[in-house]
Chain A
Amino acid sequence: MDLTTTIAGLRLKNPVLTASGTFGFGLEFEDYGDLRELGGIVVKGLSLKPREGNPMPRLAETPCGMLNAIGIQNPGVECFLKEKLPRLPWRETAIIANLYACGVEEFGELAGVLSAEEGVAALEVNVSCPNVKEGGAAFGQDPVQIGRVTESVKRRAGSKPVIVKLSPNVTDITACARAAESAGADALSAVNTLLGMAVDARTRRPRLANVVGGLSGPAIKPVALRCVFQCVRAVGIPVIGLGGIASADDALEFLLVGATAIQVGTANFLRPDFAFGLARELPEALASAGASNLSEYRGGLILPD
């Protein structure tokens, strides 16, 4: 079955991407599969300068999910371009840079640096990280700010498609989706993590040093599906679905509500070869769901009259 997928002119060999922050720079997973089998890799969030991230502990396991408060620890865009990107099979697999910045101008500057690179296939704008005080969430919860950041990135992105990654921690995600689209976004990713918290009843302390963190994993899948469903109906640009995908059937569900492609996030922690397996299983899963091809199945949700 032909799984070729196009997002804003970007051609992917299949609709399976790995989500930012869960797959490193891809290189960490080379021993466990062939990176060229993936539709794309969205790398760890990049900032102009290296960031140390938040204090420990940064992770907590919760029922069918996990909380993280990493705080965009990353070696900076320069290190990525010099030391990581040249080692990635970017001619065969889409390498999508995830951008994090503290201000509108800084987002634009970062986009300018990344868009000059042949090996970067697209830019995913992180306006939705719940774990950093400035930037992230503050932008992601305000449609006006989402518009400004999108414009700033788009202005410096050259020919690279700009994907805006949305937060579910809002009253109306469609307002955010439309704001990004109006500002020129070529695609959306939905959703980032849900703001959550875990405490220890005995030590009387929060389980994360940051107190709150982002919830991910199968526990959030129903929320993510709903968000993708709403976004797909609100905008005309492609939507990449993510949030709790942990099987090929989960991926089908996102495609069915209209996602053009999907990202595998927390499930990469179930086992390091998970995303490779999902990409391999997808044709059979589609066939067993009675799909003759991917585009026929995509968006084919049958709603009650």
Chain B
Amino acid sequence: MTRRTCRELTVGELTPLGQSERPGEFYRLRLLGPGFDDWKPGQFVMLRPSCWDLELLWGRPFSLAGADEEGISVFFQVVGRGTKRLAGLAPGDRVSVWGPLGNGFALESDTRTLLLAGGVGLAPFLGYAAAHPAPGKLELLFAHRLPLSCYPYAEMAARLRVEAIHEATPADLPRIIAGITEKIAEYAPDGLVLACGPTPFLRTVRQAALDHGVRAQVSLENRMACGVGACLGCVCRDGLGHHVQVCTQGPVFWAGDVQL
């Protein structure tokens, strides 16, 4: 088990991605300093810039897209006050980072594995694809609303088989759900499905996997204050209906072990 740490890193690069209608919405953040040489794709870190003072108290959780001895990389979309202020960081700014947190995705080198990502939920799969010893066993299905250039999609396309489905309007949803369900069914009975994205997306994946008897894991993203299992603010319900913490018992759960 990797020992978790809390340490100060500095902003290396903050790169805006894509030409979406709302510019400056997606970023890749590279933090430099002692990173993690031992982590699992699907694990996350909590980030809290020093410049936040006391106005915003909580750190924010982000999937690790990459980490090595020199630093870590995460992707984020500006959705609220925290991510808006993260987007204003400059190289050299200091950020408290604690992690690696949570459990990570199953990695089975001989198993056909389908990666299902919704939007910025693509981030953990960058690390997954890099860590997998047989990328030929991997396939990515990527559901997105904004142009592909907003996401690290090209990097994934360079490594493995990929397919993107675009949700331009809510009317596209039934077609997308059908596409996801059909793809999941192809992985029965011995394949593996891993999913990360918004909760409605994960709900679709979970149901389809259970219906078709496919082993599947979903990575949940709940609001968190601490990330270490103390605040009890990020709970979901397990298969028996009991509250479990997403930060310590997840964020990755087997589809049958969580209610969405």
| B135 close to chain A: CB less than 8 A | no
Give complex CA distance A218, B226 in Å: 16
| A109 close to chain B: CB less than 8 A | no
Q: Which residues of B contact A29 (CB under 8 A)?
A: 228, 230
| Also in contact, A61 and B226, with CB within 8 A (given A32-B4, A53-B243, A70-B233) | no
Q: Report whether A66 and B57 are in contact in the complex, using a CB–CB cutoff of 8 Å.
A: yes
| Also in contact, A66 and B98, with CB within 8 A (given A53-B232, A56-B235) | no
Give complex CA distance A22, B232 in Å: 9
Closest Cβ of chain A to B61, distance in Å, is 12
Interface residues of A in 17-56 (CB under 8 A from B): 21-24, 28-29, 31-32, 44, 52-53, 56
| Also in contact, A59 and B233, with CB within 8 A (given A64-B54, A268-B226, A272-B226) | yes
Binding site for A on B (CB under 8 A): 3-6, 48, 54-59, 81, 96, 98, 222-223, 225-233, 235-236, 242-243, 248
Smallest CB gap from A53: residue in B: B243
Q: Report whether B57 and A217 are in contact in the complex, using a CB–CB cutoff of 8 Å.
A: yes
Q: Which residues of A contact B227 (CB under 8 A)?
A: 272
Most chain B beta carbons < 10 A, residue from A32, A218, A271:
A271
Q: Report whether A23 and B230 are in contact in the complex, using a CB–CB cutoff of 8 Å.
A: yes
**How many residue pairs at the A-B interface have CB separations less than 8 Å?**
93
Which 6 interchain pairs have the tightest Cβ spacing? A59-B233, A24-B230, A31-B4, A28-B229, A269-B225, A218-B54
Binding site for B on A (CB under 8 A): 21-24, 28-29, 31-32, 44, 52-53, 56-59, 61, 63-66, 68, 70, 73, 217-218, 246, 266, 268-273
Q: Report whether A73 and B232 are in contact in the complex, using a CB–CB cutoff of 8 Å.
A: yes
Closest Cβ of chain B to A169, distance in Å, is 21
| Also in contact, A64 and B55, with CB within 8 A (given A28-B229, A73-B232, A272-B6) | yes
Q: Report whether A58 and B230 are in contact in the complex, using a CB–CB cutoff of 8 Å.
A: no
29 contacts between A and B (CB under 8 A): A22-B230, A22-B231, A24-B228, A24-B229, A28-B229, A31-B4, A32-B228, A52-B242, A53-B235, A56-B222, A57-B233, A59-B223, A61-B57, A61-B58, A64-B55, A64-B57, A68-B231, A70-B232, A73-B235, A217-B54, A218-B57, A266-B57, A268-B226, A269-B231, A270-B54, A271-B6, A271-B96, A272-B98, A272-B226
| Also in contact, A52 and B54, with CB within 8 A (given A31-B3, A32-B98) | no
Smallest CB gap from B227: residue in A: A272
Most chain A beta carbons < 10 A, residue from B6, B56, B59:
B6
Closest Cβ of chain B to A239, distance in Å, is 24
Give complex CA distance A73, B248 in Å: 15
Q: Which residues of A contact B54 (CB under 8 A)?
A: 64, 217-218, 246, 270
| Also in contact, A59 and B231, with CB within 8 A (given A52-B242, A272-B226) | yes
Q: Which residues of B contact A64 (CB under 8 A)?
A: 54-55, 57
